[in-house]
Amino acid sequence: MSQESRVRLVCTVRGCARELSAGSASHSCVAGHSFDLARSGYLNLLQVQDRRSSQPGDSTEVVAARRRWMKSGRAAPLAQALLEEARRLGVGEGTRVLDVGCGEGSFLGELEAACGCEGWGVDISRAAIEAAARRFPSVRWVVCNADLGLPFAAQSFELVLSITARRNAAEFARVLAPGGALLFVVPGEDDQHELRELLHGEAFAVDRVPGLEADLAGKFVLERRWRLEWVNTLDRESFGDLLALAYRGARDSQRARLERRDEVRVTSSYQLALFRAPLSAS
Ligand SMILES: [Zn+2]
C-alpha cells in the first residue's frame, strides 16, 4: 500500500468521499477521518454501519477451503483464461486492475505476478483480505462494501474484474477509465450440475448473461462472451471444500448425504463476458 500509485482512494465515512492521503501507518482525509493499515498491509475502509454482521462475507473456514481449492489446481483453467484475456487486452505494467469481490486473492495475485499490472482487490470479508495480503503483499488490498460503493476516485482503472462476485453497474462505470474493460465471470448453466442433481434431484439450467447485459445496458457494451468448462475428479477432502464453498446454505442433512461419497466428478462451467465502457463520458 505504500508504493506510489495513480489510483486515488476516497473516504468511506457517509457523506464524506474526500480523497485519502497515505501516511506510514494510516490513510486519512482532510475532514480528519482516519483508517489504520493492518500489520499485513491491507486497508480496512468498511464502516461499522455498512456491514450486516460483525464478520461479514466469507468466514476464516470458507477462506481456508477456497485457498485449498485454488492450491489444488482445480480452478487453474479459469486462472489461465483470465490471464489470456488480460494479455489480449494489453494488460501490463502501469495497467490498473481492480478485482471486486476478490476473496482470498489468488486470481488477482497471479494475474499481477504474470502481467506486472497494478492490482487492487476489494472484498467485504476481513478474513479473505487478510489471507490475500499475506500471500500477495505487492497487490493493494482493501476491505469495503462494494455494493454500497467503491472507495476510489472516478476513472481509476483500466480493467475491472468481477469473478462470480459483485455487480454494481453504476460504480463499475464510475471507476473505469474511458474505454476501460469490465470482465465478468458468472457460473455457466452446467456448473456443478452433478451436485445440484444430488441435492435437489434435478439441475435447473440458468443462463446468467442476459440478466447481466440488462443490468449493464446503457453503461457498457458487450464486446464478447465465451464459455469455459472442465471436469474435476474430487477426493473426499476436496469435495468437502467444494461443499463448504458452494453450499454454505445447505442443510446439514443434505451435506451429510453428499459427504459420504469417496470420489465424485464435478463439472466446473463458466461464462465469461467482456464489456466496454464508452470512450468518452456521455
Ligand atoms: Zn472523510
Residues 46-98 pLDDT 10s: 988 888 788 888 999 999 999 999 999 999 999 999 999 999 999 999 999 99
Pairing of strands 157-163, 96-100: parallel
From CA 74, how far away is CA 230, in angstroms rounded? 9
Q: Which residue has the higher pLDDT, 159 or 55?
A: 159
Is residue 196 scored above 90 in pLDDT? no
From CA 98, how far away is CA 139, in angstroms rounded? 10
Domain range 21-276, CATH class = alpha beta
Eight-state DSSP code of residue 119: E
Q: Can you say whether the dihedral through the CA atoms of 91, 93, 96, 102 is positive or negative?
A: positive
Check residue 56 and give its pLDDT. Answer: 87
Residue 239 Cα to ligand 1 midpoint, Å, equals: 45
Give the pLDDT mean for 169-181: 97
Residue 182 Cα to ligand 1 midpoint, Å, equals: 28
Residue 154 Cα to ligand 1 midpoint, Å, equals: 17
What long-range pairs does 200-206 form, CB within 8 A, spacing at least 24? none
Residue 85 Cα to ligand 1 midpoint, Å, equals: 37
Q: Which helix (H) or strand (E) holds 182?
A: strand 176-187
Check residue 281 and give its pLDDT. Answer: 55
Check residue 201 and give its pLDDT. Answer: 73
Residues around ion ligand 1, judged by CB within 5 A, are: 11, 13, 16, 18, 29, 31, 33
Q: Which residue has the higher pLDDT, 247 or 160?
A: 160
State the cell numbers at 67.
485457498
Q: What is the CA radius of gyration of the chain?
A: 19
Residue 51 Cα to ligand 1 midpoint, Å, equals: 18
Residue spans of the domains in the chain: they are: 21-276
Residue 34 Cα to ligand 1 midpoint, Å, equals: 8
pLDDT in tens, 225-270: 999 999 999 988 888 888 888 776 556 666 666 666 778 899 999 9
3-state helix, strand, coil in the chain (%, to 5): 30, 25, 40
Check residue 203 and give its pLDDT. Answer: 66
